[in-house]
Chains A and B, each alone.
Chain A
Amino acid sequence: MLEHALRGDRRYWSWVIALMALIGMGTLFYLRQFNEGMGITGLGRDITWGLYIAQFTFMVGVAASAVMVVLPYYLHNYKEFGKITILGEFVAIGSVLVCVTFVFVDIGQPFRGPNIFLYPTPNSLMFWDTIALGGYLVLNVIISHITLGAERKGIAPPKWIKPVIILSIPWAISIHTVTAFLYAGLAARPFWMTAILAPRFLA
């Protein structure tokens, strides 16, 4: 299936090369940040979380919004949406990967990241956010893999995938609410400390 991505005309390849150039540029700047420390991003004592975390939050929203494409078909039985559900699932996968990348570049010691799993801490909401996002990624990889495979062979997807898809719908809501809880539970930040933050993130 992957070979379809390696075929295209001139315009396709110039677009791919342009995107690759952007990615390469980002990687180079990240390597500089990695070597010199996060100070070069402009973050400091007064602004400890900045654009990286804002982008992360936004992309969590994009990932959760993929469910809006899946929901009419599976929950309301709206047949016209059948064809684009797979697209929605791939949008979710892409967005979650971007989210993880933003978190990776935002932490001071990225290679210690696995410590979140090595020392699981249920009292930290960051731990739960990792679980929610990781679970959502796994769910969508499974769902899109199965449904796309069935689509390719021109047959109906197996029955057992339906409950998994139904599970992915509340899970999509959970990734954005848990991300909101991560900010909302801080007495030190009065602006975020509001019960409406999670619904506001979803809206």
Chain B
Amino acid sequence: MSVERRKFLKLAGLTALGLAGGASPRALTDDSSTIDTTAATPEGPSGPLTAKRWAMVVDVKKCQEHGRCDDCKVACHLVHNVPDFGNPKDEIKWIWKESFEHAFYDQENEHLPEELKHTETPVLCNHCDNPPCVRVCPTQATWKREQDGIVMMDWHRCIGCRYCVVACPYGSRSFNWRDPRPHIMKTQLDFPTRMRGVVEKCTFCEERLVRGELPACVTACKAGALVFGDLEDPDSEVRKLLAERFSIRRKPGLGTQPEVYYLV
């Protein structure tokens, strides 16, 4: 009797090992991780927008002069089916307004211009050149796109371990703590919804770029405070702005090389 049970346990253990072992070599050779998103999407009249390194410049002054508005956040969260749970604990944010002292707490001097002290500035995923979230992800569900530096996210591969949420110094990654679908104001059918238990974040509107459109927040900003362009192109507007005016980035000391610049 006891021998049979022992044999059974041994066999069961070996079978489980065999299943795990048999599955992994197939996955190693599977190349489906590099999906070409540009292929299947219909192109706009002007063709897709491409760049060697996408970057964003936020003109804090223009944003502040326009007064307190939430247009960028509203537009972004609408087109990307971002839910609103109505409580800060479960909140999911792709772009949002943060007070200057919270966004730049390590660069704040004691005596700042009054208007800067009380200003709010939009913050989003910085699409870092050296993204800590990509380094820690155990499944490569998030990665930096070779061709234009956008930090992408695969919601179907993410296991929801939240290592990336812990690793991101900017709080740019949100976890779906509960089912988001019932909390979406108006579901857009041309963009996927997410399920509970996965991480999501801003993708620099890569789905709009392939249609030849600028990111939703940039289009929505009436003040023209958000400028989007190619950092590698010396004639681009972002490069001109960065050459003309002094800019800062969030937590530069961590070495992540954020690609969202703030003109102060």
Contact = CB atoms under 8 A, between A and B. Distances in A.
Given A39-B90, A187-B132, A112 B175 contact: no
A109 B159 contact: yes
A1 B2 CA distance: 6
B162 A108 contact: yes
B91 interface: yes
Nearest to B168: A188
Interface stretch (A14-22, A44-52, A57-65, A72-80): A44-52
Nearest to B171: A45
B28 interface: yes
Contact of B176 (A2, A108, A116, A120): A108
B89 A39 contact: yes
B157 interface: yes
Given A108-B196, A118-B23, A188-B169, A49 B136 contact: no
A196 to B, nearest CB: 19
A115 B162 contact: no
A124 B161 CA distance: 12
B5 interface: yes
A120 B161 contact: no
The range of chain A's interface size is 35 or more
Contacts, number: 140
B238 interface: no
A195 interface: no
B171 A37 contact: no
B174 A106 contact: no
B197 A109 contact: yes
Interface stretch (B137-145, B228-236, B241-249): B137-145
A125 interface: yes
Contacts of A127: 138
B45 interface: no
Interface of B: 1-2, 5-6, 9, 13, 20, 23-24, 27-28, 33, 88-91, 132, 135-141, 157-163, 165-169, 171, 174-179, 195-199, 254-256
Interface of A: 1-3, 36-40, 43-46, 48-49, 103, 106-110, 112-121, 123-127, 130, 141, 182, 185-189
